[in-house]
Every structure is written in C-alpha cells, then in structure tokens.
Amino acid sequence: MPSAPENDAPRDITPADEPQVIDPKDIPDDKPVLIAGPTASGKSALALSIAAERGGIIINADALQVFDGWRILTARPSPDELSIAPHALYGHIPFDAPYSVGHWLRDVEGLLRGPDRPIIVGGTGLYFRALTEGLAEIPPTPSDVRLEADSIPLPDLIADLDPRTRDALDVTNRARVQRAWEVLRATGRGIADWQADTPAPLLTLGASVPLVMQVGTDWLNDRITRRFDQMLAMGALDEARQMLPHWDPAFLSSKAIGAPELIAHLKGELSLDEAREAAIIASRQYAKRQRTWFRARMKDWRAIP
C-alpha cells in the first residue's frame, strides 16, 4: 500500500488564523465532545486544544480521512499533532477498500467505551447523525439490483415503491428514490419499515457536548485557497504521483478533494494552475454543501461562530 510523503499535512494554516471560538475550560470533563464543521473551518484545531488542555482521544468523523493513501489532501493529523493527543480512525482503511457509515459506527462503538473521553471531530454529517440518532441496519444492495435500478426511469421507480416509503420521500430526488427502490427490491421490505426499526443511538446529544462550526463564506473561502496552496507546497503533487499507478475513480478514497484534479494534471489533461483552480472550486462547493446540511440538521447543536 503506498504511503504519503513524510511532510506534515497542513490543516489549519497558522494558530493566528484560528478564532477564539470556545474556551476548553468550558467543556465538562465527564461528557464526550462532538465537533462538526465544514472543511478548513478550524474544527480539528479546536479538538486538539480541548484534548491538550482537558484530555481525551480525538476520533475521526470524516469519511475521507479514514483512508490510507491521501494523507496530505485529506488533511489527516501531522506527526506533531499525533504526539499531542491520541487519535483514532485516521487512515486505518486501505485506499481501495469499501467503507460505510455502518462500518464507522461499529468502529467508533468500542472507542466510546474506552478509558479516554471521546472528542469526535469531522465534516461528515451522516456519521454524526447515525451516532446520535441511530442507524437502520439495512443489508447492502447487490450490484445486479443497482444495475437494474440504473436503467429504470424515475416515475417507474416511484410507482414501484410501497406507499409508506413513497409518502416519506422527496420523490424529486432520484438518488433517494432509487436507494429506496433497491432496498425494496433486494429485501422485500420498504426502507421506511427498516428505518422504523432503527436501534437506539450510541450517544445522545444530551449526553454529549455537540458543537458545530459556523463560519463566514469569505473567511472560509480564503482559508480553503491558502490551505490548498500549502498542501501543494508540502507534497500533495508527490502524493498524487505515488497514487497514480493505483488510481481508480470508483474508489471511495478517490473522492478526496484535489485528487481527481492532480491526477488529471499528471495525466497531461490539465495544467497545474488549472488543476489547482478546479480543486479550490470543488472544495468551496463541498464546504457550501456541508454548511447547508449542518444548518438544516444540527439546529440543536451549539453553534460556534
């Protein structure tokens, strides 16, 4: 398995850039801490400051940082950061392996019972939602069922759904409709029925300190630009060069922001300037989607301006 260059991965520009969002002394020692936020918003620096001052283990809740291979581009913790506090679920999955929210939930369950206070930080909202609301254990969809669904027009997919599922769905969203159709086709049971049997969550909001970063668009866009330039300076292109022989856009790890763009550059399809610009735009668009998701679904979390 290829490994990233030994350069420390950048994450939060410089300490001076970090807003003083919360005093770690305000965090109770007897509760797990949840920190959600868009990319480059400073959430990992906040987690590290809490762990350094109050103790705890920092647990990854980012769907791309779980993979080995793209250490710099996914901004996994640097060796210096790893020396400050224990970290878990970073780079522990091979870059070519599948990984789902169910996998993550099983991985995090044992850590919640460990001796160290969990500080769970990341930008994948579905991880936090499964952690605090529970996750329906729906069997995986067979590939032949998915291929069959791909060929069916949306109105026909909708018509085939059970009424309970259809009434609860946004039927204009093909991805959600198709997922529901695949579940019904594969299991003989509607996805609404599966969801109704969702087990109790591993951790409730009331038993934790849930924090969500809310940052201004201009401030965040500037940081995204500067952080990607730092990634380039610290070896991101060398990292992409190491991954090029193994590149497959179907891998979940290949969704790392900047990876398709730098691979395209190495293949001669983009100039480095074009790849840089495309990666920055993609990162800003991703951050916008994250902020929208957090605003809609994390209204009960403490907003950190």
Check whether 192 has a pLDDT greater than 60: yes
CATH 1.10.540.10 fits 219-289, yes or no: no
Please report which confidence band the pLDDT of residue 99 belongs to, taking 50, 70 and 90 as the band edges: very high
Check whether 61 has a pLDDT greater than 80: yes
Q: What average pLDDT does the segment 74-85 reach?
A: 96
Based on the number of CB atoms within 10 Å of its own CB, is 31 exposed (0-12), middle (13-18) or buried (19 or more)?
middle
Can you say whether the dihedral through the CA atoms of 162, 163, 164, 167 is positive or negative? positive
* Per-residue 3-state assignment (H helix, E strand, C coil) for 184-212: HHHHCCCHHHHHHCCCCCCCCHHHCEEEE
Can you say whether the dihedral through the CA atoms of 294, 300, 304, 305 is positive or negative? positive
* Span(s) in the chain for CATH 3.40.50.300: 29-135+204-216+293-304
* Span(s) in the chain for CATH 1.10.287.890: 219-289
- DSSP assigned state of 298: -
CATH code of 29-135+204-216+293-304, in short, is 3.40.50.300
Report the predicted TM-score, pTM, of the whole model to 2 decimal places: 0.83
Check whether 224 has a pLDDT greater than 60: yes
Q: What's the pLDDT tens digit per position in 120-172? A: 999 999 999 999 999 988 888 899 999 999 999 999 999 999 999 999 988 99
In sequence order, which ranges of the chain are alpha helices (DSSP H)?
A: 43-54, 79-84, 101-112, 125-133, 143-150, 154-160, 163-168, 174-187, 191-196, 217-233, 236-243, 259-266, 272-297
